[in-house]
Amino acid sequence: MEKEIHYAIGEKEYIAFGVTKAKEKRPVVLVFHAFEGRNEVAKDYARYFASLGYVGLAVDLFGEKKVEQTLEGCMSQITPFFEDRNLVIERIDPLLELIKGIDWMDADHIGAIGFCFGGMCVLDLARNYSHIKGVISVHGILQAPEKTCLDKINSKVLALHGYKDPQIPESQIKAFCKEMDKKQADWQLHYYGNAKHAFTDPKAFEIGDKKMGREYNEQATNRAKKIAKVFFDEVLS
């Protein structure tokens, strides 16, 4: 079953995309899109996690299923999230409440995976929600916000990072490791030696220039999908 989940924040409608192959209630894997919006890549990952026995739920952070096609459009959408990191929580909180009333979603077993900009978003879930079981940041932004709700991170955390990603400086990676250690998280960081930024996106080359280092890597993608399965099998069992 594939179904759109509608909810409103103010006058704007947000439309998540849910997929399940089971008839009974199943744990949920939230899929946080990259800076383009809730595109086909995000929907395909929701389908992938549904094929593993979960509910795959691709979130819509921009509203109205908006998908940007240009670098300028993408940046205009994500800039407010960098200016106010609480915006991620404001956009996702109503959806988490909605999940509690959906009979085919297990609100007590929720994990999340995010790509690029979405990687930052799932880490902020872990930093602010105690009931999220585990999050995976894939070629994500690792920098912490100035303030978070939790002094101790209860979610298990996995970061999958391209060693040749030019967008994330080494200082940010070191700060992330120190943050996870300080907040007593159960965390992992995996490097993919030949991978750059956006290595899981087959259409990464369509937006931006070579300086951004956006490049699809099929081998790294396949490895990331396998380790994501192992991770969610552990935290959502």
> Within 13 Å of residue 86, how many CA atoms lie on the same side as its CB?
4
DSSP 8-state secondary structure symbol assigned to residue 38: S
Confidence of residue 233 (pLDDT cuts 50, 70, 90): very high
For helices 71-83 and 86-99, angle between their N-to-C axes, nearest 10 degrees: 90
143: DSSP letter: P
Asked if 30 and 42 count as a contact pair (C-beta separation under 8 A), the reply is: no
CB 16 within 8 A of CB 96: no
Please give the pLDDT value at position 148: 87
pLDDT of residue 204: 85
What separation in angstroms does the CA of 103 have from each of 22, 24, 100, 132?
Answer: 12, 8, 8, 19
Give the pLDDT confidence score for residue 203 in this predicted structure: 86
pLDDT above 70: percentage of residues in the chain: 100
The rounded mean pLDDT for the chain is: 95
Beta 12-19 vs 26-32: how paired, if at all? unpaired
Three-class SS state of 205: helix
Identify the pLDDT of residue 183: 96
Residue with the larger pLDDT of the pair 209 and 152 = 152
Model pLDDT, residue 208: 77
Which pair of structure tokens corresponds to residue 63?
């509203």
Residues in the chain: 237
pLDDT band at 229, cuts 50/70/90? very high
Q: What is the pTM of this model?
A: 0.96
Residue 143 CB-density burial (10 A; 0-12 exposed, 13-18 middle, 19+ buried)? middle
Comparing 46-60, 111-125, 172-186, 195-209, the range with the smallest average pLDDT is 195-209
> What distance in Å separates the CA atoms of residue 133 and residue 130, rounded to the nearest whole number?
8
* CA separation, residue 72 to residues 36, 69, 104, 175, 206 (Å): 10, 9, 38, 29, 13
pLDDT of residue 185: 97
| pLDDT for the residue numbered 67 | 96
Partnered with residue 134 across adjacent β-strands are 111, 156
Kind plus residue range of the DSSP H or E element containing 17: strand 12-19
Percent of the chain at pLDDT above 90? 92
- Burial code (b: 16+ CB inside 10 Å, e: under 16) for 40-72 equals ebbbebbbbbbebebbbbbbbbbbebbbbeebe
Residue 230 has pLDDT above 80, yes or no: yes
List the strands of the sheet with 186-192, edge to edge.
2-9, 12-19, 55-58, 26-32, 105-115, 134-138, 156-162, 186-192
Looking at residue 205, what is its pLDDT? 81
pLDDT in tens, 193-221: 999 999 999 988 888 777 788 999 999 99
Tell me, what amino acid is at 184?
Q
Domains in the chain: ranges and CATH: 2-235 (3.40.50.1820)
pLDDT digits (tens, 9 = 90+) for 25-39: 999 999 999 999 999
Q: Supply the pLDDT for residue 3.
A: 95
The pLDDT of residue 121: 98
Amino acid at 59: V
| Residue 151: Cβ-neighbour burial (10 angstroms; 0-12, 13-18, 19+) | exposed
| pLDDT tens per residue across span 153-162 | 999 999 999 9
pLDDT band at 45 (very low <50, low <70, confident <90, very high): very high
